[in-house]
Amino acid sequence: MLDAVSVPPKPGLFGSLRALATTLVTIATTRLEILATEYEQEKLRLGRMLMLWIALAFFAAMALIFLSLLLVMLFWDEHRMAAIGAITLAYTLLAIAAAGWLRHEVQRGSHLFSVSLAELRKDRQALEAR
């Protein structure tokens, strides 16, 4: 981040305006750096989450496939159709639950740039108080 350089203002209106402009540029630069940092953090977080979701989906699918095969093989002689129907029903209910969870997450929204927006609100309130 840029540190605010304390330059003694030159006397007069132009000196004051130059000092004000320097302060505003410093504030804007700091806010842009905060935005960039938040963006990078969110990008990294989403990348990690995507990789974890892919791994989770793959291994969960493999486990469910082999569990389903095991259950069908256990009930093959007497109740194979009931076993296949129960497994299908269980997967359908899980899919409905996952769809509901996904819908909830989409509606909840993201907190991207929340820190930057809070800082900008503080800046606006500080300027309005003057």
pLDDT score for 7:
52
Residue 126: per-residue pLDDT: 76
What confidence score (pLDDT) does residue 12 get? Answer: 83
Which pLDDT belongs to residue 2?
Answer: 47
What is the spatial distance between Cα 109 and Cα 102, in angstroms, rounded to a whole number?
Answer: 11
- pTM exceeds cut of 0.75: no
Q: Which one-letter DSSP state was computed for residue 11?
A: S
Q: Mean pLDDT, consecutive 10-residue segments, the chain of 130 residues?
A: 53 83 86 87 89 91 91 90 91 91 83 76 75
Helices (H), 6-113: 13-74, 80-108
What single-letter amino acid sits at 14? F
- What is the longest distance spanned by two Cα atoms in the chain? 98
Question: How many other C-beta atoms can be found within 10 angstroms of the C-beta atom of residue 71?
Answer: 16
The backbone torsions φ and ψ at residue 10, rounded to the nearest 5 degrees and listed phi first, read: -75, 150
